[in-house]
Structure formats: structure tokens, C-alpha cells
Structure 1
Amino acid sequence: MNPGAAALRAGLHRGRIEFRQHMSDSQDIWGAVFPPAVSLVVMYILRDSTVPGTDASLGSHSVPGILAMNVVLTGLMGLAIALTTDREDSTLLRAKAVPNGVLGYLTGKVVSRAAVTVASLFVVLIPASFLFGGLELGRVMSWVTLTWVLALGLIATLPIGAILGALFNGAQSLSVTTLVLMGLVAISGVFHPVDGFPGWLQLLAQVFPLYWLALGLRSALLPGELAAAEIGGSWRHAETVGVLGLWAVLGFLVAPVVLSRMARRESGSSVAARRAKAARRPM
């Protein structure tokens, strides 16, 4: 078997094992469940509020945005944190010692984080189907659209997580990135349509994949007439595919370069230096 293909096969197997471990670890489960659960509670409190210009509940309108936010937090940030953590405890260094080990390691991480992200979405969808009306969960096309939007969204965002994990030296250093992501959540229409924002802020939101991921998920789960509340008055599927596809291409071009440089820099001395730095941090 081709060495690269063997590494990918080993990575898929590793991903399945890590996914089962995540699903049996109470701390991992809590980390994946807590943010969307809090968001659902907030949206339930606001269930009597309506989307401006419509009679639709703001709570049900926000469910797809919560799913999009979960993709970013559980998938993108989860992968970034996993990479930085494994660099600190020398897991990545051990993978580097095996032929094509880094490729297998990264494949496993991507597979496991993607699987955890998909599983965590049902933590939102199942209770949301009972808490909120107006979600189009009974249509086949809803699930078809949900599937391709989610798949494309993961392909567009997971490489960004890998890049962040390679660039930052520790999980604590990612805190700034988390604040930036929370800012993007605020401007990307996750909890409120962006058409009421200033024009420059609308343009800024549309640069990033979170806006398009949330828009695509709304097109899957909400009634078609709610497209009137969006920019341009439509779900803009073509633009969604274009922007998310562009981010995916950029990610797959940049991530291998950044990750290969990061892997080359990994050594026993660099791991020891990070451990010494971590030991000096105040508790």
C-alpha cells in the first residue's frame, strides 16, 4: 500500500478511536454541550420576540446560528486547542518520529473533531425541535441542504483551526483568538439578522465563513419566506458555496505549508521549553 494512503487509513482509524474517547469523557461532553445549551436557554427566554419585519420567533430564527457557532467553537477551536495541547505534551513529536506519522495524526484529529461537531449539533436540534416552532425539520430538502452546508462549512473552517493550532504555542495563547471569534459571532447574524447593521459591518461579516455557514443553515431549517429578512432578500446559495468554497481552498493551500513548518520545528528541546514556560505560569 502507498505510504501516504496507509497514513490516511491509520488516521481514519485513529479518528474513530478518538471520537469514541470524546463521547465517553464527561469533561469533553460538557465542553461540547455547555455553550449551545446556554444559547438555547437564552433564545427560549426570547421566544416571544420576533425577527424585525416578520412574525417569526427570534428564538427559532437563532437556532441555525447556534449550530453555526457550535461548528466554530467545537470544530475550529477544538482542533486548534487539540493541536496546541498535543504539542505541549510531545504527542506530535512522537507522531513525527513515525514515517508519515504527522499525516496520520492530523487526519485523525480532523476526523474526530468533525465527528464530535456533527454529534454536538443534535444536542441543539433535538431539544430545539420541541422548544421552538417554525423549524422545517420534516422536509427531505431541509436535511439535504443541512448536510451540504455543514460539510462545506467544516471543510472551510477546520483548516483554519489547524493553522491556528500550528501558529500558537499553547492553549492559553489561543484566548485572544476566542475573543476574536466571539466578536465575529456578534456581527455574523448568529442571533440577529445583519441587515440592520451599518453597511460596512455587513460587508465585514460577509468576508468570514461564519456568516455564510449560519445563512446556509437558516436556509435549511427555516421557512422560505424568512429569506426576506436576509441581505438581498434570498438565501443566496450560490454565494454561500462560493465563499465557503474559497475559504476551503485557501485553507487547504495554507494549512499544509504552516503545519509542515510547525512539524519541522518540533523537537525535544522545543517541547521542554514549552513545558518550562507552562510551569512558570501562575496557577
Structure 2
Amino acid sequence: MSLTSIGARGGIAHAGVSQGVIELRQAFTGAELIGQLLWPLVTLVALFLVRDVPIGGGGATLDTYILPGALGMFVALGMLLVVQQLAADREDGSLLRARITPNGIPAYLVGKSVQISATILAYLAIVLGPALLFVDGLALGRPGSWLTFAWVLLLGLIATQGIGAVLGSLVSSSRGAGYVSLPVLALIAISGVFAPISALPAWVAGAAQVFPVYWLGLGMRSALLPESAAALEVGGTWRPVETAVVLGAWAVAGLVAAPVVLRRMTRKESGSRVAARRERALQRVG
């Protein structure tokens, strides 16, 4: 690898990180901050309300089970954030500007990854920090617990944002992003976040296990819950190898596919198309 290519990659990373930090600051400033805090705070309230609801045997309560799944859910919501932001950037011409800038698309992807990953980490901190004060039955002192949490989180961020980039390349407007959100939310609902997946019909449980959302929740539960809680899972085990394989496969697929589909999509962008989309958006508002 030449010094020129190394310098170019360093420039892409620097430009992407700088843009991501700027967008992150904007997302957590002023009125935007209220929207960012809403869902983490709603999740905390829900956890508090079910803190005495029993589940299974041995005195376990529903909040203990839901907390790791909720953390996985917030990571999975990275898919929707990518779809929504890609649609908005395509509609207002930001993607077109990135295309005509040298190394603009790689820098754009780095910036979005930084901004969305940091946003999700903030969500997790907002939920997990206070929840530790009232959610009992967690096994955070178990050897390897936080290491498992870290690798599940890393693979989950990469996998879900890669899927989001592919889905986002298929829509050209904020309205289209809203339509894409519906099946993603349905997938989250059947992926064992709110109840053990073993309680669902076999065909639903089988379909959920094809996608990374279920494995995110399972991986988080394996990191934060005691070994005895695995009895509620499919097969009665945490299945760490399967979790790593599925999340890793989706992560690799996302890393390979996202730059390709975005480049292909941005080749079709033009000033006239951006202007037409803006006009349609104004007509909807009017």
C-alpha cells in the first residue's frame, strides 16, 4: 500500500469523523434534544412499571428480561436512522454533493456511521445507567460479561447500519422511508425483545432467527443475565457461536454491500431530480 493511498484513506476518515461529530452535535442540541431523549425515557418508564411482573420460575421479573432486549432494540433501530437520514439527504441534495466531492461517498458513510453509532451509544447509556439502579437479577460481575456485551454491540452496529444503507438506497423520499419503517418495526416486534421467542409460533420464531435483531437481543441477554436465564431461550442455551456467526455474516454483508449500492444509487442523482423531489415535498406540505 502506497503512502498516497494511506494518506487518502486518512483524509477520508478525518473528513467523515468531523462531519459525523458536527451532525451529532446538531442532533443533541435545542429542540432536537427532546426527540432524542423521548424513546430512551419511555423505555425506562416501561421497565420501571414491569419491575414486579414475574416471568418463568426462580423469582425472575419481566424488567430483567426486557432490559437486554431493549438495548438490542435500540441498536437495531440504527437501521431506521440510516434509512431516514439517507432519504432526507437524497431529498435535499446532500448525497448529490457528496458524489461530486472527491472521496465524498466514503467520507459520507464514515460520517453517518460515527453519528448514528454515537447516537445509539447515548441511547444505551441513558437506558442502562438508571436501569441498573432498580433492575434486579443482572449478572454484570460474571466473567466475560462486558466483553460479550462489547462484541455483540460492535457486530450489531455494523450489521444493522449496513442493512439500513441497503434499504435506504431503495427509497428516494421521507415518505418512502416511512413505508420501509413498518416491516423493520414488525421484525423487531417478533424478535424476542418483549417476550421470549420460544413463546411465539415456530414459523415466526424461525423467520426471526434469520435476521440480526433476534441475535442482538440474545447476545445482550447472554452478556447481562445469569446462566439460569438461558432456560427461557430456544434450546435452553445462549448459543454464542451461532450469535457470532449470524451477526458477523450480516456485518460483512453490510460492509461489502453498502458502499456498492450507495455508489450505484448516487450515480443516478442529478440536480433536476433533486429539484423535482423538493417540489413534490413542498406540494405535500402545502
TM-score (norm 1): 0.93
Q: Does the aligned pair in 2 maintain the 1:54–1:226 contact within 8 Å?
A: no
Superposed counterparts of 1:75-94, under 5 Å: 75-94=78-97
1:253 and 1:114 mapped to 2: Cα distance? 18
SS at match of 2:284: coil
Match in the other structure for 1:152: 155
Asked if residue 114 in structure 1 is aligned to residue 117 in structure 2, the reply is yes
Q: Does the aligned pair in 1 maintain the 2:169–2:265 contact within 8 Å?
A: yes
Q: Does the aligned pair in 2 maintain the 1:81–1:174 contact within 8 Å?
A: yes
2:71 and 2:37 mapped to 1: Cα distance? 12
Match in the other structure for 1:261: 264
Deviations 1:188-231 (Å, cap 9, x if unpaired)?
Answer: 11011011111111101101110000000011111111011101
Q: Does the aligned pair in 2 maintain the 1:65–1:214 contact within 8 Å?
A: yes
1:141 and 1:26 mapped to 2: Cα distance? 40
- Please, which of 97, 101, 104 is the counterpart of residue 104 of structure 2? 101
Tell me which amino acid in the other structure corresponds to 2:18.
H
Tell me which amino acid in the other structure corresponds to 2:152.
V
Superposed counterparts of 1:186-197, under 5 Å: 186-197=189-200
1:135 and 1:172 mapped to 2: Cα distance? 41
Deviations 1:43-100 (Å, cap 9, x if unpaired)?
Answer: 3222222223442111121001111111122x22112211111111112222222111
Match in the other structure for 1:10: 15
Asked if residue 56 in structure 1 is aligned to residue 60 in structure 2, the reply is yes
The answer for unaligned runs of 5 or more in structure 2 is: none
- Please, which of 227, 230, 234 is the counterpart of residue 230 of structure 2? 227
Moved more, 233-242 or 127-136: 127-136
Deviations 1:161-195 (Å, cap 9, x if unpaired)?
Answer: 11122211112212222221221122111011011
Match in the other structure for 2:38: 34
Asked if residue 69 in structure 1 is aligned to residue 73 in structure 2, the reply is yes
Match in the other structure for 2:165: 162
Asked if residue 278 in structure 1 is aligned to residue 284 in structure 2, the reply is no
Shift of 1:118: 1.0
Stretches (4+) displaced over 4 A: none
- Please, which of 238, 243, 261 is the counterpart of residue 241 of structure 2? 238
1:232 and 1:71 mapped to 2: Cα distance? 25
1:108 and 1:182 mapped to 2: Cα distance? 25
Tell me which amino acid in the other structure corresponds to 2:246.
V
SS at match of 2:144: helix
Superposed counterparts of 1:180-219, under 5 Å: 180-219=183-222
Shift of 1:8: 2.6
Aligned length: 281
Change in Cα spacing, 1:139 to 1:119, as seen in structure 2 (3 Å) is farther
Change in Cα spacing, 1:53 to 1:202, as seen in structure 2 (3 Å) is farther
Shift of 1:125: 0.2
Match in the other structure for 1:179: 182
2:249 and 2:263 mapped to 1: Cα distance? 22
Tell me which amino acid in the other structure corresponds to 2:46.
V
Match in the other structure for 1:125: 128
SS at match of 2:216: helix
1:10 and 1:279 mapped to 2: Cα distance? 32
Tell me which amino acid in the other structure corresponds to 2:63.
G
SS at match of 2:219: helix
TM-score (norm 2): 0.92
